[in-house]
Amino acid sequence: MTSPAQPEPSGPEAAAPDEAAGPTAATGADTSPTAAAGADTSPSAGTGADLYPAATRPSDEAAVVAAQAATAATTREALTANPLRDPRDKRLPRVAGPCVLVLFGVTGDLAKRKLLPAIYDLGNRGLLPPGFSLVGFARRDWAAQDFAQVTHDAIKENARTPFREEVWKQLREGIHFVPGEFHDDGAFDALAMALKEIDETRGTGGNYAFYLSVPPKFFPLVVQQLKRTGLANAPHGAWRRVVIEKPFGHDLASAQELNEITSAVFPESSVFRIDHYLGKETVQNIMALRFANNLFEPIWNRSYVDHVQITMAEDIGIGGRAGYYDGIGAARDVIQNHLLQLLALVGMEDPTSFDADALRREKEKVLKAVRLPQDLSLGTARGAYTAGWQGGEPVVGYLEEEGIPADSITETYAAIKLEIANRRWAGVPFYLRTGKRLGRRVTEVAVVFQRAPHLPFSKTDTEILGQNALVIRVQPDEGITVRFGSKVPGTAMEVRDVSMDFAYGESFMESSPEAYERLLLDVLIGDPPLFPHQREVELSWRILDPIEEFWATQGQPEGYPAGTWGPPSADAMMARDGRVWRRL
């Protein structure tokens, strides 16, 4: 939603929602004077007021370092103190202050495929601060240059922007490596030493982000180590942040437990939970679509909407993730986070602003208003894929996958019907479905409208006319489709569905940032709106837990052949309501 959403040279008010939501447009998002004044909650508030504090202070080193770090700590303060910044200067990107990113799990799949390339891409776009340093931690007998090689390879293979020697050089200078196991105190002491040294050689001012790209069972250990070594405690004026990946527990209790572990060490404001869906352009565009336009919001309610379908379909199986997936299943893996977040964004009221508090408050309100079906056996469906043909290739069933016990009751397909008990949505079902080994890979939100109250055509004229729909295509082929009836050319009055398309288009978004780029940048800047709060995580588990408990009593899920669109019970669930799933 860079340019197509804002073709007119609009005034500052008109542009505001875009800025908060869009990535390129976000350059100016934080720079409005009101935002700077209103959101000043950090402990170092106040340093921003005196324009040149260092000049009037004792010049002992600690004070200088602290003062420097203080201003680096939040961009907002820097803005008030920095004569070169101006909210009207929209060309200047948001850049984080000097800092270090400590990456645990650098040998993992996520690090290689997403995180390391995203860091490079940020550098290539000029969004990494001077002095930015990257510290890898892994149980490998590596030197910094070995880790640099791994990073280099990951970038070459997976970065989205072209490889440029000078960008790599800049990044390479800041690459460090600390070998060790998570239970090894010595390794973490070495990490603390290394970080201290980096502060001195690179001027990173004690600002560290710890990215835990490791299996969740190690979170407690790593977090404890960060506490023991004092790395979790930010000295005055600096910041420490921790980034964790899903899953955030497997039910409410475990999510709370996990939260206790992190919150005992890091304050909630320093915990960044990644739901990479929220970093996606198309997902942020839901807010622009709804709140920057006057075309959709008037009909975005029970008076016009018949129902909403939110789908995330994957064509792949569980791959090598048997250990993680079995016992978790589709609903915990996808519905609890991605699909409920999409539901919240589609269903929420307009936030008073796009800052984290306002946005999260609205999302929480919707999640709180979610109601489960009375009879879970009628309002939910689950399945597990059986052997079949997927896109022209034979594939095995879930129970035959390596590492999956033959009596597993884990579902690979889940569909649930939810309602939102408020004035806007009462009586409008939200159908959520996700599955592996479905027909193809697609994620979308379809708002399906009611039929016209009266059709002044003969019945045969409109026989094949469906319901109007607005579809937000999240991935792939990002865009928006509007489906409506149109006259078929000819002498008869025959009306049929046609689609009107807005495509971000493959080539168009070619250079747009990847979700992880946006999210990493937000972590380094300390901008939390796109990260789910613990309250949202817990509310989502409250929705899912009763369903999981019910399913646990139901034995093995119904089979569906790989490459099809889920079990018959899912279709039956829709049929009972007189509806059908969209054919995707």
Partner 1 sequence: MTSFMLSGTNASKISSHLTHLRHQMGAPAIGMVLTLVVVCDESNQYDATRAATDAAREHPSRILVVINRDPEEANRLDAELRIGESTPGEVVLLRLYGELTRHADSVVSPLLLPDTPVVAWWPGPCPEVPSKDPIGQLAQRRITDARADTDSVAAIVGRSRGYVAGDTDMAWTRLTPWRSLLAAAFDQPVGRVGGGLVEAAAGNASGPLLAAWLSRRVGVPIGVAESGGPGLTAVRLNTDEGEVSVTRTDARLATLRRPGQPDRHVALARRHTSELLAEELRRLDPDEIYAEALQQLAATG
Ligand X SMILES: NC(=O)c1ccc[n+]([C@@H]2O[C@H](COP(=O)([O-])OP(=O)(O)OC[C@H]3O[C@@H](n4cnc5c(N)ncnc54)[C@H](OP(=O)(O)O)[C@@H]3O)[C@@H](O)[C@H]2O)c1
Per CB under 8 A, the list member of 158, 170, 256, 475 interacting with partner 1 is: 170
Per CB under 8 A, the list member of 508, 535, 571, 582 interacting with partner 1 is: 508
CA 422 from chain centre, in angstroms, equals 26
Residue nearest to ligand X (CB): 108
Residue with tokens 């505001």, as numbered in its chain: 16
213 binds ligand X (CB under 6 A): yes
235 binds ligand X (CB under 6 A): no
> What phi, psi does 150 have (nearest 5°)?
-60, -45
Query: Are 481 and 498 contacting, i.e. CB atoms less than 8 angstroms apart?
Result: no
CB of 114 to ligand X, least distance (A): 7
217 marked among binding-site residues: no
Task: Return d(Cα 138, Cα 133) in angstroms, integer.
Answer: 17
Whether 338 is a known active-site residue: answer yes
Q: Which of 152, 338, 454, 533 is catalytic?
A: 338
Residue with tokens 């896109």, as numbered in its chain: 391
533 marked among binding-site residues: no
- Considering beta carbons, is residue 139 or 371 the nearer one to ligand X? 139
138 binds ligand X (CB under 6 A): yes
505 binds partner 1 (CB under 8 A): yes
CB of 63 to ligand X, least distance (A): 38
481 binds partner 1 (CB under 8 A): no
CB of 444 to partner 1, least distance (A): 18
> What 8-state DSSP symbol labels residue 139?
S
Per-residue binding letters, 105-144, with partner 1 (x by CB under 8 A):
------------------xx-x--xxx-------------
State which amino acid sits at residue 504.
Answer: Y
451 marked among binding-site residues: no
Per CB under 8 A, the list member of 34, 55, 58, 393 interacting with partner 1 is: 55
SS3 413: strand
State which amino acid sits at residue 396.
Answer: V
> What 8-state DSSP symbol labels residue 276?
G
State which amino acid sits at residue 157.
Answer: E
Q: Which of residues 173-212 bind ligand X (CB under 6 A)?
A: 181-182
Per CB under 8 A, the list member of 20, 78, 348, 414 interacting with partner 1 is: 78
Task: Return d(Cα 60, Cα 428) in angstroms, integer.
Answer: 65
How would you write 365-405 as a 3-class SS string? Answer: HHHHHEECCCCHHHHEEEEEEECEEECCEEECCHHHCCCCC
Task: Return d(Cα 315, Cα 542) in angstroms, integer.
Answer: 29
215 binds ligand X (CB under 6 A): yes
CA 258 from chain centre, in angstroms, equals 19
107 binds ligand X (CB under 6 A): yes
Per CB under 8 A, the list member of 218, 457, 502, 550 interacting with partner 1 is: 502
- Considering beta carbons, is residue 63 or 221 the nearer one to partner 1? 63
State which amino acid sits at residue 392.
Answer: G
> What phi, psi does 251 have (nearest 5°)?
-165, 180
What's the helix, strand, coil split of the chain in %, to 5? 40, 20, 40
- Considering beta carbons, is residue 84 or 552 the nearer one to partner 1? 84
CB of 184 to ligand X, least distance (A): 9
578 binds partner 1 (CB under 8 A): no
Following DSSP, what letter does each residue of 452-480 receive, concatenated?
PS---S-GGGGTT----EEEEEEESS-EE
Query: Are 155 and 117 contacting, i.e. CB atoms less than 8 angstroms apart?
Result: yes
Per CB under 8 A, the list member of 42, 44, 71, 151 interacting with partner 1 is: 71
The pair of three-digit structure tokens given for residue 375, joined into one six-digit string: 């009879």
501 binds partner 1 (CB under 8 A): yes
SS3 165: helix
Q: Which residues lie across from 498 on neighbouring strands?
A: 484
181 marked among binding-site residues: yes
User: What is the contact surface with partner 1 in residues (CB under 8 A)?
Assistant: 2-4, 6-10, 15, 24, 51-55, 64, 67-68, 71-72, 75, 78, 81-86, 88-93, 95, 97-98, 123-124, 126, 129-131, 164-167, 169-170, 173, 200-203, 205, 501-503, 505, 507-508, 510-512
Binding-site residues for NADP(+), in ranges, read 139, 181-182, 246
Binding-site residues, in ranges, read 139, 181-182, 246, 276, 280, 314, 333, 436
Residues with a catalytic annotation lie at 338
User: What is the contact surface with ligand X in residues (CB under 6 A)?
Assistant: 105-111, 138-139, 181-182, 213-216, 218, 245-246
